[in-house]
Amino acid sequence: NAGVTQTPKFQVLKTGQSMTLQCAQDMNHEYMSWYRQDPGMGLRLIHYSVGAGITDQGEVPNGYNVSRSTTEDFPLRLLSAAPSQTSVYFCASSSDRGQETQYFGPGTRLLVL
Protein backbone atom coordinates (compact mmCIF):
# COMPACT_ATOMS: atom_id res chain seq x y z
CA ASN A 1 0.00 0.00 0.00
CA ALA A 2 1.18 3.51 -0.83
CA GLY A 3 -0.82 4.92 2.10
CA VAL A 4 -1.77 8.57 1.73
CA THR A 5 -0.24 10.36 -1.23
CA GLN A 6 -0.27 14.07 -2.02
CA THR A 7 0.63 16.01 -5.13
CA PRO A 8 2.34 18.31 -5.80
CA LYS A 9 5.05 18.42 -3.15
CA PHE A 10 5.66 22.12 -3.70
CA GLN A 11 3.79 24.82 -5.59
CA VAL A 12 4.19 28.54 -6.15
CA LEU A 13 1.10 30.56 -7.03
CA LYS A 14 0.39 34.17 -7.75
CA THR A 15 -2.37 35.95 -5.86
CA GLY A 16 -5.71 35.26 -7.50
CA GLN A 17 -4.69 32.03 -9.21
CA SER A 18 -6.56 28.83 -8.58
CA MET A 19 -5.27 25.33 -8.07
CA THR A 20 -6.17 21.92 -6.72
CA LEU A 21 -4.14 19.97 -4.21
CA GLN A 22 -4.54 16.27 -4.77
CA CYS A 23 -4.88 13.63 -2.06
CA ALA A 24 -5.40 9.92 -2.53
CA GLN A 25 -5.38 6.90 -0.23
CA ASP A 26 -5.41 3.22 -1.07
CA MET A 27 -6.42 1.87 2.35
CA ASN A 28 -10.19 2.02 1.71
CA HIS A 29 -10.55 4.55 4.51
CA GLU A 30 -13.90 6.25 4.90
CA TYR A 31 -12.64 9.34 6.64
CA MET A 32 -10.38 11.93 5.05
CA SER A 33 -9.30 15.37 6.20
CA TRP A 34 -7.29 18.39 5.10
CA TYR A 35 -5.12 20.37 7.50
CA ARG A 36 -2.87 23.36 7.14
CA GLN A 37 0.26 23.97 9.18
CA ASP A 38 1.59 27.48 9.67
CA PRO A 39 4.90 28.37 11.34
CA GLY A 40 4.69 28.20 15.12
CA MET A 41 1.29 26.56 15.05
CA GLY A 42 -0.06 23.08 15.07
CA LEU A 43 -2.18 21.66 12.31
CA ARG A 44 -5.62 23.17 11.82
CA LEU A 45 -8.49 21.35 10.19
CA ILE A 46 -9.80 22.88 6.95
CA HIS A 47 -12.40 20.38 5.70
CA TYR A 48 -13.15 16.75 6.26
CA SER A 49 -15.22 13.97 4.73
CA VAL A 50 -16.90 11.00 6.39
CA GLY A 51 -17.46 9.18 3.11
CA ALA A 52 -18.00 9.59 -0.62
CA GLY A 53 -20.39 12.44 -1.31
CA ILE A 54 -20.23 13.86 2.23
CA THR A 55 -18.04 16.76 3.31
CA ASP A 56 -18.04 19.24 6.18
CA GLN A 57 -16.15 22.30 7.36
CA GLY A 58 -13.41 22.27 9.93
CA GLU A 59 -11.81 25.03 11.93
CA VAL A 60 -10.50 27.18 9.03
CA PRO A 61 -12.59 26.48 5.88
CA ASN A 62 -12.70 29.93 4.28
CA GLY A 63 -11.07 30.13 0.86
CA TYR A 64 -11.13 26.38 0.27
CA ASN A 65 -13.51 23.96 -1.40
CA VAL A 66 -13.56 20.18 -1.30
CA SER A 67 -15.48 17.35 -2.88
CA ARG A 68 -15.44 13.58 -2.40
CA SER A 69 -16.64 11.74 -5.46
CA THR A 70 -14.77 8.51 -4.64
CA THR A 71 -13.54 6.83 -1.47
CA GLU A 72 -9.94 7.14 -2.63
CA ASP A 73 -9.66 10.81 -3.56
CA PHE A 74 -10.21 14.03 -1.64
CA PRO A 75 -8.97 17.10 -3.56
CA LEU A 76 -8.67 20.54 -1.99
CA ARG A 77 -9.37 23.53 -4.22
CA LEU A 78 -8.16 27.07 -3.79
CA LEU A 79 -10.42 29.22 -5.96
CA SER A 80 -8.50 32.50 -5.67
CA ALA A 81 -5.20 32.12 -3.83
CA ALA A 82 -4.16 34.70 -1.26
CA PRO A 83 -0.80 35.19 0.50
CA SER A 84 -2.50 34.17 3.75
CA GLN A 85 -2.88 30.70 2.27
CA THR A 86 0.88 30.20 2.17
CA SER A 87 1.28 27.11 4.31
CA VAL A 88 2.03 23.42 4.36
CA TYR A 89 -1.04 21.32 3.65
CA PHE A 90 -1.55 17.83 4.98
CA CYS A 91 -4.13 15.28 3.98
CA ALA A 92 -5.05 12.49 6.41
CA SER A 93 -7.28 9.45 6.40
CA SER A 94 -8.65 7.01 8.94
CA SER A 95 -10.77 3.91 8.82
CA ASP A 96 -13.37 4.83 11.40
CA ARG A 97 -14.89 7.94 12.85
CA GLY A 98 -12.90 9.12 15.82
CA GLN A 99 -11.88 5.63 16.76
CA GLU A 100 -8.86 5.05 14.66
CA THR A 101 -5.62 6.83 14.17
CA GLN A 102 -5.34 9.25 11.31
CA TYR A 103 -2.60 8.56 8.79
CA PHE A 104 -1.01 11.60 7.22
CA GLY A 105 0.34 12.24 3.75
CA PRO A 106 3.77 13.81 3.23
CA GLY A 107 2.40 17.33 2.82
CA THR A 108 2.26 19.97 0.08
CA ARG A 109 4.16 23.20 0.56
CA LEU A 110 2.30 26.11 -1.01
CA LEU A 111 3.73 29.58 -1.52
CA VAL A 112 1.39 32.35 -2.66
CA LEU A 113 3.11 35.49 -3.90
Partner 1 sequence: AQTVTQSQPEMSVQEAETVTLSCTYDTSENNYYLFWYKQPPSRQMILVIRQEAYKQQNATENRFSVNFQKAAKSFSLKISDSQLGDTAMYFCAFMKHWNNDMRFGAGTRLTVKP
Q: Which residues of the chain form contacts with partner 1 (CB under 8 A)?
A: 31, 33, 35, 40-45, 48, 50, 58-59, 88, 90, 92, 94, 97-99, 101-104, 106-107
**Minimum distance, C-beta of residue 81 to partner 1, in the bound complex (Å):** 21
Q: How far apart are CA 38 and CA 87, in angstroms?
A: 5
| Nearer to partner 1 among residue 14 and residue 34 (C-beta) | 34
Question: Nearer to partner 1 by C-beta: 15 or 26?
Answer: 26
Smallest distance, partner 1 to C-beta of residue 16, A: 27
Instruction: Provide, rounded to whole angstroms, the least separation between the CB of residue 82 and partner 1.
Output: 22
Where are the extended beta strands (E) located within 4-97? 4-7, 10-13, 19-25, 31-37, 43-51, 54-57, 64-66, 76-78, 87-94
Secondary structure string (H, E, C) spanning 97-113: CCCCCCEECCCEEEEEC
